[in-house]
Amino acid sequence: MNKKLKKYLSRPPKRIASDVIFWGLIILLIIPSTRSVFLGAFAKVRTAVFTQNIKTLDGPMLSAGDYQWTLTDLDGNQMKLEDFKGEVLFVNSWATWCPPCRAEMPSIEKLYKNNGLRDGPGSTVDSDKLQDNANGVRMLMISNEDLDVVREFIEKKEYTFPVYLTKTALPAVMQSRSIPASFVFNKQGKLVYQKNGAFNWNGKKMRNFFDRLNAE
């Protein structure tokens, strides 16, 4: 045993360091209490570092049935998607327990505050100021969790973007096997961008993309 240890320790320091890092990461992923912390940190790094090109989709149109999708804001006000018909829509499906969802939220908050994205009824944000912004985008942050869970999370993080709850299935065009899942629709209701996973929504390319959609 001592001979094997001495032989291992005689290896180059970089090889030993890489082994320590590798097994350390394995241990972090195995232990439940550290796994979520590690995944959350990794998602934040990924969101901040990786910049992706915005590739416009020639996706499907929202159907008449899709526009009947019912949402409820955190104040209990109900509305249908058709209430926002004719606007550029940013729809994000998320959950409080999802590390990648939490990682991208600061960028969504910055996008919302910096660009005057439109909110919905019941928001605590200055609605008049946002609604008067001709370049606004209707932001719909969607969760299917309980009201108290969502409200506590939003208040703790002090996010001001509008959040909605839904107890029914998302329209087929917005369904995804993973979250966060984000969808952007133009004013005609066509899906023009879709992103699964954490993303920097306040990047220059994305802001320019929203500007182009609003100019159409």
For residues 115 and 137, the answer to whether their CB atoms sit within 8 Å is yes
* Tens-digit pLDDT profile for residues 7-37: 555 666 656 555 556 555 566 556 655 545 5
Residue 191 to residue 185: CA distance in whole angstroms = 4
The overall longest dimension of the chain from CA atoms, in Å, is: 76
Q: Stretch 145-174: mean pLDDT, rounded?
A: 94
Residue 2 to residue 13: CA distance in whole angstroms = 19
What band does 63 get if pLDDT is binned at 50, 70 and 90?
Answer: very high
Residue 70 φ/ψ, nearest 5 degrees: -100, 135
Residue type, 33: S
Q: Stretch 44-67: mean pLDDT, rounded?
A: 74
Q: Domains (ranges, CATH) in the chain?
A: 2-49 (no CATH), 66-215 (3.40.30.10)
For residue 135, what are its two tokens? Answer: 């370049």
Full-model pTM: 0.71
pLDDT at 2 over 80: no
Pairing of the two strands 138-143 and 89-93? parallel
